[in-house]
Amino acid sequence: MYVSEFTKFMDEYLEQHPAVDSERRELRLKLWDTTLDLDDQRRWKESRVAQKPYVYQPD
């Protein structure tokens, strides 16, 4: 199976620096594994400004 040089580099780097991998996992939890606030989502959708179909078309 083919493994790119970058993948090999990252695998070796993470083996040599285990703190980086644990920090990456912690930050992922903070960013992606959060509960969604439905009220915030509703307000965000309501506050959106409609965009014209072709933004580069002069008025």
Q: What is the pLDDT of residues 13-47, one digit of tens each?
A: 999 999 999 999 999 888 887 788 899 999 999 99
End-to-end alpha carbon distance in the chain: 55
Say whether pLDDT at 50 is over 90: no
What's residue 16's pLDDT? 95
DSSP for the chain reads: ----HHHHHHHHHHHH-HHHHHHHHHHHHHHHS----HHHHHHHHHTPPPPPSSTTS--
Q: Average pLDDT, stretch 10-15?
A: 95
- Residue 23 amino acid letter: E
Say whether pLDDT at 10 is over 80: yes
Q: Which residue has the tokens 């083919």?
A: 2
